[in-house]
Amino acid sequence: MPKTDIASLSREELKELIQSLGQPAFRSTQIYEWLRKGVSSFDEMTNVPASLRQKLVENCYISYAAIEKKLVSAYDDTKKYLFRFPDGEMVESVLMKYHHGFTSCISTQAGCRMGCTFCATGQSGFSRSLSASEMLAQLIAEQQDEHIRISNVVLMGMGEPLDNFDQVMRFLELVGDEKGLGIGMRHISLSTCGLVPKIYELADRHLQITLSVSLHAPNNQIRSRTMPVNRRYPVEELLKACRYYSDTTGRRISFEYAMIDGVNDSDACAEELGRRLRGIISHVNLIPVNAVSGTGYQKSKRQRMERFIDILGKAGVTATVRRTLGSDINASCGQLRRAAGSTNPSKEETAV
């Protein structure tokens, strides 16, 4: 029989497992606490009898995230982690400090299948999806490392969350447990490149999470060039799904728009975007694109971004430039893993 991923069990499921091993329920509370502290082996569960630990070793395994590398910004309190899972797979995560608390940007897959041309993750291929416990493990490792509590989570690291739908939904359940990390849906954002059928599926779950949609272009001509997913789900279909999402959940959608010099930042682009977004309860986040090596893209000039915001504003669409944090510690997710050990001090962080 395959071993159970014990950290992926809910508190109730863990209790059932422990009882099925002939043990009293309170042992499951002890084990749950250890797991939420991020132990990497059953041996570390010192208040659990050796005989039970042995049974656990035989039946279960622990998904934990080991810190392979950590970069600390000299400018602000941003930390960037490269985590290694027991099978050797590595993902990135970024921990940011805001006045309201700590926000962690975690990965949902090792790599990504979507192949966006401006994205370091998309350009370096796909290894595998992460389990819910591996998503949780990134948060736990950061909390333990920094002796803090994380209050907000953004699923905006490596990977496409809606391409790993079931495990992401499972993660959302686990992370909310008040005896565990206690991070509720209102404190979670999920970012997608636009897998339309999954946006409908998500809407129908009526969750209180924030949906971010990586739009990055106002029309199919430009979007299909930079985001291959657009050839499958064009802008019209994507925006229809977004309307459905905000109508169904009553939640405002956040559109991400990476400003790329000469590609998607003209006045005409802003005008078209303004027309397209009319009637959708939304907010546009403009992000100066991170110049990922090999892509040839450069960020738009500050004035261009301001002009873009003005045009959108006239069309009734609110837009702001997203603050960048950790500008000295290596770019949006994917670049650290891709660099495989070297740091690049001149890149900017993609941050909320």
List the interface residues with ligand SAH, window 315-344 (CB under 6 A): 332
Question: Is residue 349 involved in binding ligand SAH (CB under 6 A)?
Answer: no
Active site includes 112? no
How buried is 141 (Cβ within 10 angstroms: 0-12 exposed, 13-18 middle, 19+ buried)? buried
Question: Is residue 202 involved in binding ligand SAH (CB under 6 A)?
Answer: no
Picked from ligand SAH, ligand SF4, none, the partner binding residue 245 (CB below 5 to 8 A depending on kind) is none
Picked from ligand SF4, ligand SAH, none, the partner binding residue 241 (CB below 5 to 8 A depending on kind) is none
Q: 264, 92 in Cβ contact below 8 A? A: no
Q: 96, 78 in Cβ contact below 8 A? A: yes
List the interface residues with ligand SAH, window 205-224 (CB under 6 A): 214
Picked from ligand SAH, ligand SF4, none, the partner binding residue 289 (CB below 5 to 8 A depending on kind) is ligand SAH
CB of 85 to ligand SF4, least distance (A): 18
Question: Is residue 193 involved in binding ligand SAH (CB under 6 A)?
Answer: yes
Active site includes 333? yes
Task: Give 42's Cβ-side CA count (13 Å radius).
Answer: 19
Closer Cβ to ligand SAH, 31 or 162, answer by number? 162
Instruction: Label residue 93 left, alpha or beta by phi (over 0 means left) and psi (-120 to 50 means alpha).
Output: beta
Distances from the Cα of 134 to the Cαs of 30, 102, 265, in angstroms? 20, 19, 37
CA distance 328 to 75: 7
Question: Is residue 350 involved in binding ligand SAH (CB under 6 A)?
Answer: yes
Give the residue at shortest CB distance from ligand SF4.
122
From 52-60, 65-73, 75-83, 190-198, give the range in contact with ligand SAH by CB under 6 A: 190-198
List the interface residues with ligand SAH, window 255-284 (CB under 6 A): 256, 258
Nearest-CA neighbor of 201 among 192, 343, 131, 178? 192
Per CB under 6 A, the list member of 56, 71, 96, 119 interacting with ligand SAH is 119
From 14-22, 70-78, 115-123, 133-141, give the range in contact with ligand SF4 by CB under 6 A: 115-123
Per CB under 6 A, the list member of 38, 39, 65, 122 interacting with ligand SF4 is 122
CB of 339 to ligand SF4, least distance (A): 16
CA distance 232 to 220: 11
Q: 270, 307 in Cβ contact below 8 A? A: yes
Phi, psi of 26 (to 5 degrees): -65, -25
CB of 232 to ligand SF4, least distance (A): 12
The neighbouring-strand residues paired with 38 are: none
Two structure tokens written together for 141 = 């490792």
Which of 60, 92, 112, 142 is labelled catalytic?
A: 92
Two structure tokens written together for 42 = 């059953």
Residues in contact with ligand SF4, total (CB under 6 A)? 11
Q: Where are the alpha helices (DSSP H) in the chain?
A: 11-20, 25-36, 50-59, 120-123, 132-146, 165-175, 196-203, 220-226, 229-232, 235-249, 267-277, 302-314, 335-339
From 42-50, 61-69, 112-120, 197-205, give the range in contact with ligand SF4 by CB under 6 A: 112-120
Question: Is residue 286 involved in binding ligand SAH (CB under 6 A)?
Answer: no
Closer Cβ to ligand SAH, 34 or 118, answer by number? 118
Q: How big is the chain by its Cα radius of gyration, in Å?
A: 21
What is the per-residue DSSP string for 15-73? HHHHHHTT--HHHHHHHHHHHHTT-SSGGG-TTS-HHHHHHHHHHEE----EEEEEEE-
- Interface with ligand SAH (CB under 6 A): 118-119, 156, 160, 191-193, 214, 256, 258, 287, 289-290, 292, 332, 350
- Interface with ligand SF4 (CB under 6 A): 112, 114-116, 119, 121-122, 159-160, 193, 214
Active-site residue list: 92, 333
